[in-house]
C-alpha cells in the first residue's frame, strides 16, 4: 500500500482518504453512501459549494459595484436554487423550466436573469408575468416580441443586449461563444450590436440597463476575459455617449474553468476578479465614464469541483493487447461530457485509493452504444465487479445534461454537509420513466 494516493482529485478538505485507502466524502466512506442511497449517486459537497459561492460573491472589488448570478445550467434543482438564494447569488436561467425551478426554490424573480437564443412567446410571457429581473436580448426578432409582451403586461422590462465581442478563448470549440461565428448575440463587427441597441431604444416598454457578453466555458486564463471587457467597454461608452442610452451594467458572462487534471492551472477567484475589476476601473477613469455595475455568471467554477459521481463496476472485459473495459451502472446518461467533448474527469477506485495505479482501463457506460464511454485509457489499479469508482469534478454539466437514453433512470443527487445529508433530487424510478407515455386509443 502507498502512503499517498496516486490519483489526482480536487484538493478540498471534504475529499479525503483514510489509512485503509477508502475514499471519504465529508467524512463518509463512499461505499456507505452508496449503501444508503443506491448506485450510481451524484454527491454535492455542501461546505465546498458554499465556500465557492462566497469566493465569487465577495471579490476584492474596491469601490466597484458588482452582482453575481449563478449560471444554473451547470446544475439546478429547487434545493440548489434555495442554497444559492441563501448565499445571496442571483440566478441565470435559459428556459422557463430553469426559471420555474429557481422560483420554486425561493429565488426572487427580481434576482433572475434570463438568457436564450430562441426564447419563444410563451417563455417570454412567463418571464414577464413573473417579474423576472433582467432579460438578455439575443436576436432581432426578440425585440418586438418582448416589447409586445411588456406592453400587454403594462410594464417596462429591464433588458441587456447580448454582444458577441469577437474574442475566442482557448477551450473546446463546442463551448466557445465569443467568436464572430456564433449562434449567440449581436456581433460587434459589422455594426449588428449597434443596430440592435438602436432598435431596443425605440421601444418605451424596454429599458436597456446594460450590455452582456459570454466568451466561452472552461476558460483557464483571465486575459481573454480582460480582452472581452476592453471591447465591451468601448461599445458601452459609445452606446452611452453617442446613442444616449443611460446604461449602468456590464455583464461579463462567467466561463471560468476548473482543474480537471493535475497540469491545469487553477484560476483563483480573487485574483481573477481583481485583474478584471482593476482593468475596468482604470479604463473607465481613463475614458471619463462612470464605472458600470459589473455582473458575472459563473457556473462550473462554483459547483463543478464540489460534485463526485460514484458508480459500481458491473462487469469487466480484458482484450489482450487491445484494451481493458470496466462497465459501470451509469454512463453517458448521467455524464455525457466524454461522449460530447472527450472531457476527462479525474477517476479513482473509491476503496483502493492507496493502491498503485498500475493498469490501464477504459470505463464504459451501460447504454447500448459504443460511444457510451466515461473515459478511455486511464491509469488505475485492477478492477472487478463490485468495485466503486469515483469520478470527480462532476458537479457541473453532468446531471444537468443527463438523458434517459435506453430508458436508463437518472441517479439521485445528494447534498452532503458536515454531519448532515439530504437529497437534492430523488433517483428516477420506472414510474417516472413511464409518466409521460401515452398509448393512442386505437392501439389498445
Ligand atoms: N452565461 C452564459 C450566457 C453561458 O452560456 C454560460 C455557459 C455561463 C454563463 C456559465 O459558464 P460557466 O461559468 O459554467 O463556464 N456543457 C458544457 C458547458 C456549456 C456552457 C454553456 N454556457 C460542458 O459540459 O463543458
- Give SS3 for 313: strand
- Give SS3 for 61: coil
Pairing of strands 388-392, 206-212: unpaired
What is the block-wise mean pLDDT of the chain (444 residues), using blocks of 10 residues?
94 97 98 98 98 87 84 98 97 98 98 96 97 97 97 98 85 74 86 95 98 94 94 96 94 95 93 92 95 96 98 97 97 98 97 97 97 97 98 98 98 95 98 97 97
Q: Final residue of a domain: which of 252, 272, 298?
A: 298
Among 75, 92, 225, 254, which residue has the most ligand 1 atoms within 8 Å of its CB, making it the best to mutate? 254
pLDDT score recorded for residue 60:
66
Clarify whether residues 313 and 274 are in a common domain: no
Among 52, 55, 69, 71, which residue has the most ligand 1 atoms within 8 Å of its CB, making it the best to mutate? 71
Q: Final residue of a domain: which of 298, 320, 336?
A: 298
Total number of domains constituting the chain = 2
Lining residues, ligand 1, CB within 6 Å? 71, 73-74, 92, 115, 175, 177, 214, 217-218, 253-256, 297-301, 337, 396-397, 401
Clarify whether residues 209 and 285 are in a common domain: yes
Relative to the CA of 340, which ligand 1 atom is closest? 24
Residue 69 within a domain? no
Relative to the CA of 337, which ligand 1 atom is closest? 24
Clarify whether residues 290 and 340 are in a common domain: no
Clarify whether residues 174 and 294 are in a common domain: yes
pLDDT score recorded for residue 189:
85
d(CA 21, CA 185): 50
d(CA 392, CA 265): 17
Relative to the CA of 162, which ligand 1 atom is closest? 3
Clarify whether residues 334 and 291 are in a common domain: no
pLDDT score recorded for residue 62:
67
Residue 90 within a domain? no
Residue 363 within a domain? yes
Residue 263 has phi, psi (to 5 degrees) of -80, -5
Would you state the cell numbers that stand for residue 22, as one nine-digit string?
A: 477508502
Clarify whether residues 179 and 280 are in a common domain: yes
Residue 122 within a domain? yes
Q: Give the closest residue (by CA) to ligand 1 atom 1.
A: 253
Clarify whether residues 271 and 335 are in a common domain: no
Residue 104 within a domain? no
* Residue tagged active-site, from 53, 295, 367, 368: 368
pLDDT score recorded for residue 168:
76
CA 214 to ligand 1 center in whole angstroms: 9
Show the domain range for 374: 2-45+306-434
Cβ–Cβ under 8 Å, residues 76 and 400: yes
Residue 247 within a domain? yes
Relative to the CA of 301, which ligand 1 atom is closest? 13
417563455: which residue's cell? 123
- Report CA Rg, the chain: 23
Cβ–Cβ under 8 Å, residues 66 and 89: no
Clarify whether residues 147 and 236 are in a common domain: yes
Clarify whether residues 318 and 367 are in a common domain: yes
CA 329 to ligand 1 center in whole angstroms: 27
Residue 143 within a domain? yes
What is the domain-level CATH number for residue 232?
A: 3.20.20.10
284 is catalytic: no
CA 153 to ligand 1 center in whole angstroms: 31
What is the domain-level CATH number for residue 388?
A: 2.40.37.10
Clarify whether residues 291 and 312 are in a common domain: no
Clarify whether residues 286 and 357 are in a common domain: no
Q: Give the closest residue (by CA) to ligand 1 atom 12.
A: 255
Clarify whether residues 138 and 186 are in a common domain: yes
CA 392 to ligand 1 center in whole angstroms: 19
Residue 93 within a domain? no
Q: Positive or negative, the Cα torsion across 376, 266, 251, 186?
A: negative
Q: Final residue of a domain: which of 298, 333, 366?
A: 298
Q: Positive or negative, the Cα torsion across 58, 64, 65, 69?
A: negative
Amino acid at each position: 500500500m502507498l502512503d499517498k494516493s496516486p490519483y489526482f482529485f480536487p484538493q478540498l478538505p471534504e475529499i479525503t482518504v483514510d489509512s485503509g485507502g477508502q475514499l471519504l466524502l465529508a467524512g463518509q466512506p463512499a461505499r456507505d453512501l452508496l449503501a444508503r442511497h443506491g448506485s450510481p449517486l451524484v454527491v454535492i459537497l455542501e461546505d465546498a459549494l458554499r465556500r465557492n459561492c462566497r469566493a465569487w460573491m465577495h471579490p476584492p472589488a474596491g469601490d466597484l459595484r458588482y452582482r453575481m448570478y449563478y449560471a444554473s445550467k451547470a446544475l439546478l434543482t429547487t434545493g440548489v436554487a434555495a442554497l444559492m438564494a441563501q448565499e445571496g447569488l442571483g440566478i441565470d436561467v435559459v428556459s422557463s423550466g430553469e426559471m420555474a425551478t429557481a422560483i420554486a426554490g425561493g429565488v426572487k424573480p427580481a434576482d433572475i436573469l434570463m438568457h436564450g437564443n430562441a426564447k419563444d412567446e410563451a417563455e417570454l410571457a412567463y418571464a414577464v408575468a413573473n417579474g423576472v429581473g433582467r432579460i438578455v436580448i439575443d436576436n432581432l426578432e426578440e425585440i418586438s416580441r418582448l416589447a409586445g409582451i411588456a406592453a400587454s403586461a403594462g410594464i417596462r422590462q429591464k433588458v441587456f443586449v447580448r454582444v458577441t465581442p469577437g474574442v475566442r478563448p482557448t477551450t473546446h470549440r463546442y463551448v466557445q461563444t465569443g467568436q464572430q461565428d456564433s449562434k449567440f448575440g449581436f456581433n460587434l463587427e459589422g455594426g449588428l450590436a449597434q443596430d440592435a441597441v438602436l432598435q431596443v431604444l425605440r421601444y418605451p416598454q424596454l429599458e436597456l440597463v446594460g450590455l452582456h457578453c459570454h466568451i466561452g466555458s472552461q476558460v483557464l486564463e483571465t486575459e481573454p476575459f480582460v480582452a472581452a471587457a476592453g471591447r465591451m467597454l468601448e461599445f458601452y461608452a459609445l452606446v452611452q455617449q453617442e446613442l444616449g442610452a443611460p446604461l449602468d451594467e456590464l455583464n461579463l458572462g462567467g466561463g471560468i474553468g476548473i482543474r480537471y487534471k493535475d497540469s491545469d492551472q487553477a484560476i483563483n477567484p480573487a485574483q481573477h476578479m481583481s485583474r478584471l475589476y482593476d482593468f475596468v476601473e482604470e479604463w473607465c477613469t481613463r475614458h471619463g465614464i462612470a464605472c458600470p455595475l459589473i455582473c458575472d455568471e459563473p457556473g462550473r467554477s462554483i459547483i463543478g469541483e464540489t460534485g463526485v459521481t460514484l458508480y459500481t463496476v458491473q462487469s469487466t472485459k480484458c482484450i489482450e493487447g487491445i484494451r481493458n473495459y470496466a462497465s459501470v451502472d451509469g454512463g453517458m446518461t448521467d455524464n455525457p461530457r466524454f461522449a460530447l467533448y472527450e472531457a476527462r474527469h479525474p477517476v479513482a477506485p473509491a476503496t483502493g485509493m492507496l493502491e498503485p495505479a498500475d493498469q490501464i482501463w477504459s470505463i464504459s457506460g451501460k447504454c447500448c452504444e459504443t460511444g457510451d464511454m466515461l473515459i478511455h485509457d486511464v491509469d488505475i489499479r485492477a478492477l472487478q465487479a463490485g468495485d466503486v469508482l469515483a469520478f470527480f469534478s462532476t458537479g457541473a454539466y453532468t446531471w444537468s445534461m443527463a438523458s434517459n437514453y435506453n430508458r436508463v433512470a437518472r441517479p439521485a443527487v445528494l447534498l452532503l454537509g458536515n454531519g448532515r445529508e439530504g437529497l437534492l433530487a430523488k433517483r428516477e424510478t420506472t414510474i417516472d420513466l413511464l409518466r409521460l407515455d401515452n398509448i393512442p386509443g386505437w392501439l389498445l
